[in-house]
């Protein structure tokens, strides 16, 4: 490691733990703070990280602070906690999928203190996070990006500097609209197939390996076909949140986005019907669409 940067990390959950672990293993000094679950914090401390007593203490110990949180409200709350300890010349990097308008507002406030801000939402899964094989979609000033790039490369197989602050979050929302749209289409297609007398296996025999196949399809079908509840660990509640941000971004355009609204409503219905738990993941949408159409989901003994 040819750097004297010190790293702070807030939000070492499903994605953040793997990122922080890889930064630590590449020789950087890492300070962490518990946000919700203590188990990943304790694991990182056992690997050599330091636990901060407060967010301000974490900021004071760090030249670069990474955030990997659930939404913009959580990001704003954590940044407020960091601010007393942030020194001029430090950088805050938000790896969450967040509202771009909030991102720009936080960046402007921190700039007054001489603190740079970068949005770097993630592409990939928790398995890829642990393996250091994520994609970083980076919105930052060019000089800030060049400073951060060596750290990104400790945990990302692909680093894309997409533009200025806010552009990373804008691109991530468009990306998630595509992927979550696939999920809504797959779930509805499987329900139509089942009502027509076709099994999941028959459906998969045609789609897998065809032009309609893709990496997202394969992880999604890990549950629908094989019953692996953890094939794609991204919650329905987070999907619904991201799609609300997509809809808000379209409204700000303004852009007529009836497909985005329909996709959002598919996830909204699943969350409203009870799919709002921490282990209710995107592939489980198949169960909620099935139930809405009088079919058993896999969890109900369906196939």
How do the pLDDT tens digits run along the chain, 303 residues long? Answer: 446 899 999 999 989 999 999 999 999 999 999 767 789 999 999 999 999 999 999 999 999 999 999 999 999 999 999 999 999 999 999 999 999 999 999 999 999 999 999 999 999 989 999 999 999 999 999 999 999 999 999 999 999 999 999 999 999 999 999 999 999 999 999 999 999 999 999 999 999 999 999 999 999 999 999 999 999 999 999 999 999 999 999 999 999 999 999 999 999 999 999 999 999 999 999 999 999 999 998 877 765
Report the number of distinct structural domains present in the chain. 2
Q: Phi-psi bin for 67: left (phi > 0), alpha (psi -120 to 50), beta?
A: beta
* Same domain, residue pair 147 and 10: yes
Q: What b/e sequence results for 267-298 when a residue is b if at least 16 CB atoms lie within 10 Å of its CB, and e otherwise?
A: bbebbeeebeeeebbbbbbbbbbbbbeebebb
* Same domain, residue pair 151 and 42: yes
* Same domain, residue pair 114 and 186: no
Cβ 137 vs Cβ 123: under 8 Å: yes
* Same domain, residue pair 139 and 264: no
Residue 1 lies in a domain: no
Rounded to an integer, what distance in angstroms lies between the CA atom of residue 180 and that of residue 165?
24
Assess whether 172 carries a catalytic annotation: yes
Q: Phi-psi bin for 274: left (phi > 0), alpha (psi -120 to 50), beta?
A: left
What is the CATH number for 291?
Answer: 1.10.1040.10
Q: Which of 21, 26, 149, 172 is catalytic?
A: 172
* Same domain, residue pair 132 and 176: no
* Same domain, residue pair 269 and 194: yes
Which one of 165, 187, 222 terminates a domain?
165
What is the pLDDT at residue 2? 46
* Same domain, residue pair 159 and 177: no
What is the pLDDT at residue 38? 87
* Same domain, residue pair 28 and 155: yes
What is the pLDDT at residue 171? 97
Q: Which domain holds residue 128?
A: 6-165
What is the pLDDT at residue 297? 87
Residue 241 lies in a domain: yes
Which one of 120, 142, 165 terminates a domain?
165
Rg from Cα positions in the chain = 20
Which one of 118, 145, 165 terminates a domain?
165
* Same domain, residue pair 23 and 107: yes
Residue 106 lies in a domain: yes
Residue 97 lies in a domain: yes
CB atoms closer than 10 angstroms to residue 191: 20
Cβ 174 vs Cβ 151: under 8 Å: no
What is the pLDDT at residue 177? 98
What is the CATH number for 118?
Answer: 3.40.50.720
Residue 287 lies in a domain: yes
Rounded to an integer, what distance in angstroms lies between the CA atom of residue 137 and that of residue 246?
16
What is the pLDDT at residue 302? 64
The length of the chain is: 303
What is the pLDDT at residue 298? 85
């Amino acid at each position: 490691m040819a750097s004297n940067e010190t790293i702070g990390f807030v939000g070492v959950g499903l994605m953040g733990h793997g990122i922080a672990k890889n930064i630590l293993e590449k020789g950087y000094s890492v300070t962490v703070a518990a946000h919700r679950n203590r188990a990943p914090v304790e694991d990182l401390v056992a690997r050599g990280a330091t636990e901060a007593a407060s967010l301000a203490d974490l900021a004071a110990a760090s030249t670069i602070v990474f955030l990997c949180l659930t939404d913009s409200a959580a990001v704003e709350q954590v940044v407020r906690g960091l601010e007393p300890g942030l020194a001029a010349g430090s950088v805050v990097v938000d790896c969450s999928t967040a509202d771009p308008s909030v991102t720009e507002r936080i960046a402007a406030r921190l700039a007054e203190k001489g603190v740079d801000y970068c949005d770097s939402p993630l592409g990939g899964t928790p398995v890829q996070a642990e393996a250091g094989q994520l994609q970083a979609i980076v919105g930052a000033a060019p000089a800030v990006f060049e400073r951060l790039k060596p750290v990104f490369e400790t945990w990302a197989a692909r680093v894309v500097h997409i533009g200025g602050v806010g552009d990373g979050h804008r691109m991530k929302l468009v990306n998630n609209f595509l992927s979550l749209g696939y999920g809504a289409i797959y779930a509805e297609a499987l329900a139509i197939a089942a009502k027509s007398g076709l099994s999941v296996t028959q459906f998969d025999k045609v789609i897998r390996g065809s032009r309609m196949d893709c990496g997202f399809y394969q992880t999604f079908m890990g549950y629908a076909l094989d019953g692996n509840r953890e094939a794609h660990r991204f919650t329905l509640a987070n999907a619904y949140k991201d799609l609300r941000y997509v809809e808000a971004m379209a409204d700000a355009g303004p852009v007529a986005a009836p497909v985005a609204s329909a996709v959002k409503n598919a996830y909204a219905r699943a969350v409203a019907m009870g799919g709002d738990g921490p282990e209710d993941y995107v592939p489980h949408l198949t169960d909620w669409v099935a139930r809405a159409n009088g079919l058993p989901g896999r969890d109900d003994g369906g196939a």
